[in-house]
Structure 1
């Protein structure tokens, strides 16, 4: 594993980790992380995937994980459009490290919501969406839906105003997030069409321009996302070949998978080979 330091469009530093196979590179995979999740979380899966012949990269969005330059996020000016530019920067770095092979995205939650905003979308040969949905509050899973209006209408506005960022670590909710990211995400989650609804025609057109194939893995016991929410997100990519596959814990003899489980090492023998099978299918059509 090699750590690289990239430069974001505002001059700030981004951290990217590159995992190379010992033999020839068959394709490149960039893992786009979920909201508030550090790239460390994906390291076991990235290492395993590199062992299957892929050049793999993970990265932290601006202000997160190893891309966090200061102790406090107060004053950091970045929103979700800025994080999409970080995604673009990571694609450029991976393309440079693994030229001449197909490049795929594995997007976990937020990591599958942003690719329609990419300037580099034409460089993407496919997207596997994991546990991702629109985020609209009515499409949240029932346990989350019972408290989400309190979260969006009281906790987020008050805490963000008081601290200058969202102190999620202190509140045990999501994690610390920059103010611009949190408030834009709030707008998205209060709109029935999520980002393409909240941001209007310009963003709808960006998503309509995406042509890469998309396979969305919807987890039946996901505590945050529902199948309906996944369908809404997938349909934000109207011109992309797309389909949804449902995965239940019983399919892999597990008690639970949930929103975060697929990337845990317990699924190395079951769900991880399913991911490479999907990537191989995409390679056959690239």
Structure 2
């Protein structure tokens, strides 16, 4: 099968624009996959894996969160963007899940989350449309749960970089620092509020959390030498989904080729990771 790619934009319930790519073959199977990105990582980063899945009969949706990538037209628009981090789950992720289910009502829908995508799932009101979740290095972000130099980097990120640079630019200029896409101000302000507390996003008494409502299978991967998502932080996140059917997988340390935080989606891991996880999407089994 040769996949077809269709690009378009939708509006979320609160009026934000979200750019979407749909990957599908002419004769798809009964499976749909929505990929929810890491913070500031563009949807195009996931296109090779999306094409691989589409060529195996899965209908795949990728998207740029509101305020980044093709979902924003200019720096001035980025400065005016008012959405926060929870909105990425409550509005953006929820809208793409709803779209995927509406267009493919008879398919089994898997949500695949990379990094923060697994955190914002707990705010997604359309969780009940999802049949299962595949988490790739999805973790908590409390700075003191990290180690060594990255612990210091996380502290500086929450306590210095975000509060100092964001008011100056009107957004977080992470591209200038050689990181990911520039981020809207309210996204990073909320993110920093989470990262300073041990309870991270779970610290608020009057918040509407949906983590306990999610009771579907979740396969959660962590990886050695992943400074962005050390095993302790991945374990912390899956514990928040206390009613889900959790399968925890830690990539073997003895493997010569290690994916780290971003490598899962590179084609060099097709045999080591893609094929195994494709099987889980299609059959609920890794064996």
TM-score normalised by structure 2 residue count? 0.92
The answer as to whether partners of 1:193 and 1:232 remain within 8 angstroms in 2 is no
Measured in 2, the distance between the counterparts of 1:217 and 1:142 equals 22
Give 1:10's aligned residue: 14
Q: Tell me the distance in 2 between the aligned counterparts of 1:249 and 1:48.
A: 26
Deviation at 1:141, TM superposition (A): 4.5
Shift of 1:143: 3.2
- Which residue pairs with 2:270 in the alignment? 268
TM-score under structure 1 length normalisation: 0.93
Aligned pairs (5 A) from 1:73-84:
73-84=78-89
Deviation digits for residues 7-58 of structure 1 (CA, Å, limit 9, x no counterpart): 1223232111001123232210000000010000000000000111110000
Deviations 1:167-218 (A, max 9, x none): 1111224431001100101111112122112x335344x1111112111101
Shift of 1:249: 5.6
Question: Aligned match of 1:233 in 191, 215, 237?
Answer: 237
Counterpart of 1:187?
Answer: 193
The Cα offsets for residues 232-281 of structure 1, whole Å up to 9 and x where unpaired, read as: 10011111111310003643x41x31100000011112210111122134
What is the CA–CA distance in structure 2 between the aligned matches of 1:41 and 1:7, rounded to whole Å?
Answer: 22
User: Are 1:67 and 2:54 an aligned pair?
Assistant: no
Q: What SS is found at the alignment partner of 1:14? A: strand
Which whole-Å CA distance do the structure 1 matches of 2:96 and 2:285 have between them?
A: 21
Query: Is 1:37 matched with 2:80?
Result: no
CA separation in 2, counterparts of 1:123 and 1:77? 27
Cα distance in 1, alignment partners of residues 254 and 53 from structure 2: 24
Unmatched tracts of structure 1, length 5 or more? none
- Structure 2 gaps of 5+ residues are none
Q: Name the counterpart of 1:164.
A: 170
Paired residues in the alignment total: 280
* Partners of 1:2 and 1:249 in 2: CA distance: 38
> CA RMSD for the aligned pairs?
1.7
| The 10-residue stretch of structure 1 (264-273 or 275-284) with the greater mean CA deviation from structure 2 | 275-284
SS in 1 for 2:207: helix
Contact 2:279–2:285 under 8 Å retained in 1: no
> Residues 25 and 54 of structure 2 are in contact (CA less than 8 Å); yes or no, is this contact kept in structure 1?
yes
User: Equivalent residue for 1:139?
Assistant: 145
Distance verdict in 2 for CA 1:281–1:143, change over 3 Å: farther
Q: Give 2:113's match in structure 1, choosing from 97, 107, 115.
A: 107
State whether residues 143 and 195 of structure 2, in contact with CA within 8 Å, keep that contact through their aligned partners in structure 1.
yes
> Which is worse superposed, 169-178 or 58-67?
169-178
* Separation of aligned partners in 2, 1:279 and 1:153: 39
* Partners of 2:69 and 2:181 within 8 A in 1: no
Distance 2:199 2:282 in 1: 32
Do the aligned partners of 1:141 and 1:222 also contact (CA within 8 Å) in 2?
A: no
The counterpart of 1:151, out of the listed 129, 138, 157, is 157
Residue equivalent to 1:224:
228
Contact 2:135–2:218 (8 Å) recurs in 1: yes
Q: Which moved more, 1:143-152 or 1:118-127?
A: 143-152
Distance 1:281 1:203 in 2: 33
